Amino acid sequence: MRKTFVCGVSILALAVAGTAFAETAEKPRSTIAQSLTPPALPQARVTDALIEFPLPKGQEKYRSIDGKKMHTYVEQLAKIADRYRDAGHPKFWGRIIGTSGETETNEWLAGKFRAAGLSDVRIQPFDLPPQWMPQNWDVAISAGGQTIHLDSAQPDYDANPLPQGGVDLDAVYAGLGTDADFSGKDVKGKAVFVYSQLGTPDMGAVKRAAAHGAAVVLEVSMLPGNMRYQAYPSGTDAPAFTLGHDDGVKARNMIAAGPVKVHVSLDVQKVPNLKTAMVWGTLPGATDETIYVTAHKDSWFEGASDNSSGVASLLGLAEYFAKVPKAQRHRTMIFVGLDGHHNGSDGGVGRRWMVQNKATLFPKTALFLNVEHPATIFTQTRPRYYPGDEIAWANTAMPLQWYAGGPARPELQSIVWKAFKEFGQPAVFDPSPAPPAGDGGPFFRMLPTVSASEYHSYFHTDWETPEAVPWTGLESATRAYAKVIDEVNKLPLSALQRPEEPQPPQRSQ
């Protein structure tokens, strides 16, 4: 502790000294000790600083669920993503379905299941429809003889490609992208820059720009820094890109000064004949009633929170329950590494297969626990009076949004709320009416589903590194999940199973 502290102080002193020097040249982003490239803070500082919630009295059996151990799994999964990036995929990378990033993940997870002593460990492959794979892109803005490449630009998933050689467009600034911003502006056939931020109102800016005839839409996230953010499909014919804040400011300043030209290229291939997989492992119990524990394996970038943390937590549960004698496991536990859901209608094939086979898989299912983003470092964007234009880290975990069976299963809701509270895992006060976005979606209408998630500042960005996943949060959420499983096992199936709710005609994830 002392060492960390002295180190912190000296970094601070250096930062302050450095800042004073930089100030004459340019306004510094930070007068505090955070890094301006990921991670904001080194792993050792974060590890030492985090506040661990004390194990409650009477719950000593959960001590073996160890946050620091689970965190090493997060690091290993992030490294798989890094290796894929470093093997010739510098811009569109992660543990992406159908790629070697996925294959390595599958083998890794199956190995961990085997090491934990799970039985019937297998990798179940699935054919994928042709996959959207951007091969290359560039966004360059020019004015007055100066050209700037906006390196943070990332095409929204499923964006339509641009003609070979790219397009040259006039740039238009459209601020928040509301009707008032477009009023009196001709954006037809132009490159339109709109600005938003996590937490500000959803103005529907990208769709509005496209509806007004934009040729390309560039959606700037005003979160501090210059993160790359992989967005879900924009649903527009005009390709949309996300942009980091710093690049967005450069573009805005250029546009404010006079006419700006934009050269945009985007080469996309739809790659056929790829395969994804689900990874299975079982812990037989005293009965043929089942508890499913799932976590999706795929990710954008390192995906340390989304969803290395979920896979790591699932492994923490597998290892914990594997050590419990079979006679004490009331129900058979089935662990599934899901393929993922990041790929719009071209992904989610594993869970669709599960839904199709529900009659075989789930007739005696007491709990479907989907582990997704259980631990994220507490961050605040530009807190008031904070001495840095940055995302400030604190030494605890974010609260979770949650769903636990819905109002028709009050006992399950009560079990989950109490377990989170008991193990010090903050949650929003009210359960969501449906599972927060995630793999719980296809299952909650037919199964007693529990799903709790978090999607904060670094979600889907290249800053979502293992440092941003607190071991303390992994520990408290996973211990709470173990307690939920144990409490559910005290209830008969009749207290949990409900008639299937009709699926709505169309639902977006």
Partner 1 sequence: MKKTLIASAALCLMTANVQAQDKPRSTIAQSLTPPALSQQRVTDGLIEFPLPKGEEKYRAIDGKKIHQYVVDLANISLSYRDAGHPKFWGRIIGTESDRQTEEYLAGKFRAAGLSDVRIQHLDLPPQWIPQSWDVALSAGGKTIHLNSAQPDYDAKPLPQGGVDLDAVYAGLGTEADFAGKDVRGRAVFVYSQLGAPDEGAVKRAADKGAAVVFEVSMLPGNMRYQAYPSGTDAPAFTVGNDDGAAAREMLAAGPVKAHVTLDIQKVPNLKTALVWGTLPGQTDETIYITAHKDGWFEGASDNAGGVASMLGLAEYYAKLPKSQRRRTMIFIGLDGHHNGTDGAVGARWLRANKAKLFAKTALFLNDEHPSTIITQSRPRYYPGDELAWANSYMPLQWYAGGPTRPELQKIAWSAFREFGVPLAMDPSPQPPASDMGFFYRFTPGVDSSEYHSYFHTDWETPEAVPWTGLEATTRAFAKIIDGVNKLPLSALQRPEDNTPLGPYEE
Q: CB nearer to partner 1: give 190 or 330.
A: 190
Given the complex with partner 1, which of 179 and 500 has the nearer CB atom? 179
Q: Considering the complex, state which of residue 83 and residue 418 has its C-beta at the smaller distance from partner 1.
A: 418
**Residue 133, strand partner residues:** 269
Q: Which two tokens stand for residue 218?
A: 């560039």
Residues constituting the chain: 509
What is the 8-class DSSP label of residue 51? Answer: P
Q: How far apart are CA 254 and CA 258, in angstroms?
A: 7
Least Å from the CB of residue 289 to partner 1: 25
Whole-number Cα distances in Å, 62 to 55, 114, 165, 316, 418: 8, 22, 59, 11, 16
Nearer to partner 1, 82 or 389 (CB): 389
Q: How far is the CB of 404 from partner 1 (least distance, A)?
A: 10
Q: From the CB of 115, what's the least distance to partner 1, in Å?
A: 34
What is the nearest approach in angstroms of partner 1 to the Cβ of residue 321? Answer: 25
Distance from first CA to last CA of the chain, Å, rounded? 43
CA torsion through residues 431, 436, 440, 445, sign: positive
Q: How far is CA 226 from the centre of its chain?
A: 18
Cα separations (Å) of 190 from 16, 167, 187, 259? 43, 10, 5, 12
Nearer to partner 1, 160 or 380 (CB): 380
Range 59-97 burial, b when 16+ CB lie within 10 A, else e: eeebeebbbebbbebbbbbbebbbebbeeebebbbbbbb
CA geometry: angle 216, 222, 224, nearest 5 deg: 135
Integer Cα distance of 507 and 509 in angstroms: 7
Q: Smallest gap, in angstroms, from Cβ of residue 6 to partner 1?
A: 7
Residue 246 Cβ vs partner 1, minimum distance, rounded to whole Å: 10
Cβ neighbours of 325 (radius 10 Å): 7
Maximum Cα interatomic distance, the chain, rounded to a whole number of Å:
76
Q: Using the minimum distance from each CB to partner 1, give the nearer residue, 104 or 170.
A: 170
Ramachandran quadrant class, 100 (left: phi over 0; alpha: psi -120 to 50; beta: rest) = alpha
Choose between 26 and 202: whose C-beta lies nearer to partner 1: 202
Q: State the nearest-atom distance from the C-beta of 454 to partner 1, in Å.
A: 8
Nearest distance from residue 432's CB to partner 1, in Å?
5
Q: Which residue has the tokens 């709790």?
A: 452
Phi-psi region of 354 (alpha: psi -120 to 50; beta: other; left: phi over 0): alpha
Kindly state the smallest distance separating residue 70's Cβ from partner 1, in Å: 20
Residue 278 vs 392, nearer CB to partner 1 = 392
Report the residue number, 14 or 115, with the smaller CB distance to partner 1: 14
* Cβ closest to partner 1, residue 174 vs residue 336: 174
Q: Tell the smallest beta-carbon distance from residue 106 to partner 1 (Å).
A: 27
